[in-house]
């Protein structure tokens, strides 16, 4: 087994079971290693630390498969890890709650760089790093054997693959071609998912519990659903008795699918207003025209993909939240989210507090929100906790 040797002061994170080895920690590596090759990671004295997948193009030079020197990384390894992840979901996602969930959550399920989501009978994979890319056939075979799917589809069309030296890939991996829209059920509500071209693997499964939380505040309220995508928050709010929902997104096709989701659930279309627009610009227009709402949902895309983008991201979060606070009526509720993993909960709260202060509004946190149980975080991998949200009530 080829080995990477770390500098003497760079092994602490691995000893604490963090699964990443950065390029700057490596003192020696043999020439000719290939992308995704399994390597041992050793300390400066030659002691075994971990077994990992090598990535020559990434700053994360190796991602750990196992900390057990006795464990081989082969086809049976992936069967075992996937079976374990699926078994956990039978407990983490109670029967009858939904037929859509995350089956494999990358590093936090011991399979770094691999994301697998289920939508009914369709399983969608993302191979995000060199390791799972090298073992793709074994992973697909293990999923076909264990997941009980009729289709396994690939959505490895994300920017992070470029950092791993990998090209974008999509398409059928096993079974029958999935339908254009896959219907799922979430807390008794029907939602259509475009697994071929939708965001992420087709849908924001990580907001499942937060959509239910939104429903608790929606009855009788006029709701602004910003960055609405396909309107899942709108469906939850209307089903809970919202008086009206205004969806805002830059994508006309997403708004159209949102209308489809309203119809799927037999909800009143006359209570829905769709606006195709840039959210930042529209919030300013609403402020200038003195439009107001009882409840606002801010679920923006990731603003910070690297530490260099954090200052800009912080300004973006403050901007939209300041505007939202100005648009809320007295007693109104703001549900605000960040899916930027580099944004800590403490910093996010500070940004929202500063936004309320600058807006001249008094506000309370009445609930803290995050990702659901099928998106677990390994204790030694805090980066796995990326989604954070606050429910704020204004005076």
Angle between helices 136-146 and 75-92 (to 10 degrees): 40
Encoded tokens for 263: 């119809």
Give backbone dihedrals phi and psi of 182, rounded to 5 degrees, phi first.
Answer: -105, 125
pLDDT in tens, the chain (395 residues): 899 999 999 999 999 999 999 999 999 999 999 999 999 999 999 999 999 999 999 999 999 999 999 999 999 999 999 999 999 999 999 888 999 999 999 999 999 999 999 999 999 999 999 999 999 999 999 999 999 999 999 999 999 999 999 999 999 999 999 999 999 999 999 999 999 999 999 999 999 999 999 999 999 999 999 999 999 999 999 999 999 999 999 999 999 999 999 999 999 999 999 999 999 999 999 999 999 999 999 999 888 767 778 888 899 999 999 999 999 999 999 999 999 888 899 999 999 999 999 999 999 999 999 999 999 999 999 999 999 999 999 99
Counting beta carbons within 10 angstroms of the beta carbon of residue 145, is it exposed (0 to 12), middle (13 to 18) or buried (19 or more)? Answer: exposed
The reported pLDDT for the residue numbered 95 is 82
Domain boundaries for CATH 3.30.750.80 within the chain: 75-182
Domain boundaries for CATH 3.40.50.150 within the chain: 204-394
Q: If you write DSSP's letter for every residue of 363-387 in order, what string do you get?
A: EEEEEEEE--TTS---TT-GGG---
The reported pLDDT for the residue numbered 309 is 80
Give the residue among 325, 88, 89 at the shortest CA–CA distance from 205: 89
Q: Is 125 labeled as catalytic in the residue annotation? A: no
d(CA 349, CA 330): 21
Q: CATH code for 3-66? A: 2.30.130.10
Architecture per CATH, domain 204-394, reads as 3-Layer(aba) Sandwich (3.40)
Contacts of 163 (CB under 8 A, 6+ apart): 57, 58, 59
Give the residue among 372, 303, 369, 365 at the shortest CA–CA distance from 339: 303
Which is the catalytic residue, given 101, 125, 339, 392? 339
d(CA 278, CA 259): 19
Encoded tokens for 202: 């087709």
pTM reported for the whole predicted model: 0.95
Domain boundaries for CATH 2.30.130.10 within the chain: 3-66
d(CA 101, CA 86): 10
Residue 48: CA count within 13 A, CB half-sphere: 14
CATH superfamily of 75-182: RNA methyltransferase domain (HRMD) like (3.30.750.80)
Give the residue among 202, 102, 103, 206 at the shortest CA–CA distance from 158: 202
């Amino acid at each position: 087994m080829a080995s990477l040797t770390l500098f003497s002061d760079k092994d602490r994170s691995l000893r604490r079971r963090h699964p990443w080895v950065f390029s700057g920690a490596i003192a020696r590596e043999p020439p000719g290693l290939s992308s995704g090759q399994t390597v041992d990671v050793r300390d400066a004295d030659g002691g075994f630390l971990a077994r990992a997948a090598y990535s020559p193009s990434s700053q994360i030079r190796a991602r750990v498969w196992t900390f057990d020197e006795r464990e081989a990384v082969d086809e049976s390894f992936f069967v075992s890890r996937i079976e374990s992840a699926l078994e956990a979901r039978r407990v983490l996602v109670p029967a009858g709650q939904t037929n859509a969930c995350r089956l494999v959550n990358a590093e936090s399920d011991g399979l770094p760089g691999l994301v697998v989501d289920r939508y009914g009978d369709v399983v969608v994979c993302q191979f995000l790093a060199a390791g799972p890319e090298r073992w793709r056939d074994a992973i697909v075979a293990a999923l076909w054997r264990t997941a009980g799917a009729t289709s396994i589809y690939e959505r490895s069309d994300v920017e992070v693959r470029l950092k791993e030296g990998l090209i974008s890939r999509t398409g059928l991996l096993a079974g029958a071609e999935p339908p254009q829209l896959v219907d799922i059920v979430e807390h008794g509500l029907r939602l259509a998912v475009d697994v071929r071209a939708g965001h992420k693997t087709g849908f924001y499964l990580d907001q499942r519990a937060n959509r239910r939380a939104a429903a608790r505040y929606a009855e009788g309220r006029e709701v602004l659903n910003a960055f609405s995508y396909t309107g899942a928050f709108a469906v939850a709010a209307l089903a809970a008795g919202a008086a009206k929902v205004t969806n805002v997104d830059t994508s006309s096709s997403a708004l159209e699918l949102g209308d489809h989701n309203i119809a799927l659930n037999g909800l009143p279309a006359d209570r829905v207003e769709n606006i195709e627009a840039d959210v930042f610009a529209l919030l300013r227009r609403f402020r200038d025209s003195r439009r107001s709402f009882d409840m606002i949902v801010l679920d923006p895309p990731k603003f910070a993909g690297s530490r260099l983008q954090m200052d800009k991201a912080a300004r973006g979060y403050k901007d939209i939240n300041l505007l939202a606070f100005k648009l809320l009526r007295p007693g109104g509720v703001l549900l605000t989210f960040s899916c930027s993993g580099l944004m800590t909960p403490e910093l996010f709260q500070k940004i929202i507090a500063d936004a309320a202060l600058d807006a001249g509004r008094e506000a309370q946190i009445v609930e803290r929100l995050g990702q659901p149980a099928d998106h677990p975080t390994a204790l030694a991998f805090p980066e796995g906790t990326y989604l954070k949200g606050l429910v704020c009530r204004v005076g």
